[in-house]
Each structure stands twice: as C-alpha cells, then as structure tokens.
Amino acid sequence: MKIYDYHGKKNVCGDRVRDARQKQRLTQEDLAAKLQIAGVIMERDSVSRIEIGTRFVTDYELMVLSKVLDVSMQWLVGIDE
C-alpha cells in the first residue's frame, strides 16, 4: 500500500521551510532563485506548494533547502526541536 499523504500533507517540512524563509526575509521567488543557483531547478509556485504541503520534497531537495536556508535537515523535518 502506497502512502501519499502524511497527516493530510505530502511533506513534513513545508511549515519549517516557510518559517526559515521568512526569518531570512526571503520571498518565495528569492528562495527559488537560490535553489536554482545551488542546482535545484524550482520555480516560485513549487516553493509555495512545498510550504502548503501539496508537493513532495525529494531527499536532494531537502538537502539543498537546508543549505540554502542555513538550517539542519533534522530541523526541517521536525526531528531537532
């Protein structure tokens, strides 16, 4: 049985991505640009969908998000409270 949602969302990091982005005073467009510079092709609408939980996040995207946002991968997924 495949599980496509976890508590109604497709990722567990969206809220923390938004929090870290806002803490750095980045727009979704700014974050998408930083991700593209780091090698992950992502548009603003994909960042929005991650933040609201309607888009899956791959492991390599999570790794680059943590580097770009200067937070740990554990924090992004809620392990390191």
Collapse the DSSP code of 9 into the 3-class scheme (helix H, G, I; strand E, B; otherwise coil) and give the result. strand
Nearest Cα to 62, choosing from 27, 29, 17, 23?
A: 17
Per-residue pLDDT at 81: 59
Question: Is the distance from CB of 32 to CB of 40 less than 8 angstroms?
Answer: no
Per-residue pLDDT at 47: 98
The size of the chain, in residues, is 81
Below-50 pLDDT ranges, the chain: none
Per-residue pLDDT at 1: 63
24 phi and psi angles, rounded to 5 deg? -85, 5
Total-model pTM:
0.91
Question: Is the distance from CB of 42 to CB of 32 less than 8 angstroms?
Answer: yes
